[in-house]
Amino acid sequence: MRRTLAFLLLCVVVVAWWATTSRQGDPVPPADGGNTPAPYPADFEQRLTRVVGMRLELHAPLPGAPIPWQTACDHPAAGHAAARKGGRVRLSNAGPFPAHFLAFGGTTAQFFHQNLRAATEIPLVATHPRTRQTTAGVAEAWACEDRSIWFRLNPKARYTNGRPIRAGDYLLAILLQYEQRCPEFQALAEVAESLCAHGDSLLSLRLKSPVSITTAAQLLHAAEPGFYQHFDSRFRETYAQRIPPATGAYQVSSITRGRCICLQRIPSWWGEQLPLCRNRFNADTLEYHFLTDEAQVWEYFLAGRLDALQTRNVATWQQRMDDIAHLPTLVYDAEYPLPPYGIALNTRTLPDRELRRGLLHAMNMRLAIEHMWRGEGQQLPTFHTGYADLTPTCTPQYHYAPETARACFARAGYTRQGSDGILRNSQDKRLSVRLLYSPNEKISTMVAHLIRSAAFCGAEIIAEPQPWQTCQRQIQERRHQLVFWAIPAPEAPTPARFFASHAPPQESPFGLQSAAMDAAIARFEQAPAAETLSAVDTLVYKEAIWLPGWKENRVFLVHHPWLQIPPSPWCYDAADAHIFWVHPAEP
């Protein structure tokens, strides 16, 4: 009997292990059933009328006047003319394995989602990477009239499960986001007053304040009705490990939990000939390997288990030059919206502005950058950097100044120095704060420098290294004090996302609630310009909520000879842009 029970227990353990370590992605529907759209919920239109904050209409009348359509018929191909289809490409993914695959409504940011969406999602329209003009995506034509934006959907556009994309699908996504109180709805409602479907192929967006058409398109995502038919208040659990149908060239084909995610290119993909996509998305298979640190990435690459390695770590790159002397390399600087790497200060847990100012003067970020980048690094000049003519040019900054830091601490009540060199207040409370971060070699080096410089100013910084998911949870709950933080910068400046009083915590670790900031954001949204954006960044300085980190626009890339990458890539990330191809054959 005991042997039988032991055998059954072993079977349960094996099945549980298999279920948690490997799962196949959703299969592509058969061709003969893929062209049939799934029905909308029976009460869809009734639910649309209940949305508060913007108007959603499924059967809006067609416009009476002709629409001045623009198209991409004369736009050049974004990829290289020599590119060829086929082969497998193996890449590493920076960051932890994704905790979920939700298209919206996730409570924590997932680093892999950027790679996943770059490969699996095409927006309505986008900025052409070569010409910088608006070009076609899911929409084959578009128009802007006053505060209205029109999109005419490409009749060939399909989800990765084969079903057609309809205008009403964009309304469905907004409805689901609204009903589940997702921050994505609030971001759209801030700039739009209505979204209407005029039949299956025509979509119109009415704006409250001026934003670019590409920015508006980034806020709109289609939801395939068949996939979301069981969507309810428990969706964060029931849909967390399901892959949503998307609009791009690849679909997830397999997952090895914690280790690897494979994507497969869709045969005869509908967007193959779009100027935005032509000669891109060339590999048949993409493998993303989740490795623990950069040393392991180098180990995999040098052993031939990865096809390319891309880094911004100049110190490691210099150390590895002898190992890669026989391989093709690229080093290039790119101008693009830069992630706001830096230390975010939480106003909810650090409400004293003078204390925050003192901490900013006490952390010597410039010295840390000099050591980390061996004299080649640069500090970000302002929060919104890399936006061409919109980038502020004269934003004040905090510089390392021990005497100024101590003066700020004194105004915050910390006037007496203890025997350990740390300042104390009248209640004998030590000036001690926690710095939350997700550790790697580079970040840990930075933290060590900041701790030493702050101690010289009388402040104790306690390093709090935590896994990325734990960091995100603390940010979501607003429990952190200081956090090393950054997220991918949006294509166009959206200061409300980070600094508005209603900004969601996962995108605003500052916890700022400032009428002056809200007013500055409103002025920028009404008149986007370097001057109005500079007013926002100046308030970031005055509120003492962010210490600028480093610019990461110098890219070091090495690849094996069978992987081809154009010598002068137009993008700052050749892997994310999918401009590579395999030739003549993979090893």
Per-residue pLDDT of the chain (587 residues; tens, 9 = 90+): 444 444 444 444 433 444 443 344 333 333 333 678 999 999 999 999 999 999 999 999 998 889 999 999 999 999 999 999 999 999 998 778 888 898 888 776 677 887 888 888 999 999 888 887 899 999 999 999 888 999 999 999 999 999 999 999 999 999 999 998 888 888 888 889 999 999 999 999 999 877 788 888 988 999 999 999 988 888 888 998 899 999 999 999 999 999 999 999 998 899 999 999 999 999 999 999 999 788 899 999 999 999 999 888 888 898 999 999 999 998 877 677 888 999 999 999 999 999 999 999 999 999 999 888 777 778 999 999 988 888 998 889 999 999 999 999 999 999 999 999 999 999 999 999 999 999 988 899 999 999 999 999 999 999 999 988 899 889 989 999 999 998 878 777 889 889 998 888 888 999 999 999 999 998 988 888 899 999 999 999 999 999 999 987 788 899 999 999 987 666 667 777 899 999 864 44
Token pair 């061709």 in the structure block, residue = 31
The boundaries of every CATH 3.10.105.10 domain in the chain are: 342-548
Among the listed residues 475, 439, 471, the one whose alpha carbon sits nearest the alpha carbon of residue 294:
439
The amino acid present at 28, given as its one-letter code, is V
C-alpha to C-alpha distance for 41 and 24, rounded to whole angstroms:
28
Q: How far apart are CA 211 and CA 497, in angstroms?
A: 14
Q: Which residues partner with 459 through β-bridges?
A: none
Parallel, antiparallel, or unpaired for β 148-153 and 192-197? unpaired
pTM for the predicted model, two decimal places? 0.75
E strand map for 146-279: 148-153, 192-197, 202-207, 250-256, 260-265
CATH of domain 38-60+70-263: 3.40.190.10
CATH 3.40.190.10 placement within the chain: 38-60+70-263
What is the spatial distance between Cα 139 and Cα 405, in angstroms, rounded to a whole number? 54
**CB neighbour list of residue 533: distance below 8 Å, 6 or more residues apart:** 384, 387, 390, 391, 392, 493, 495, 524
CATH 3.10.105.10 fits 342-548, yes or no: yes
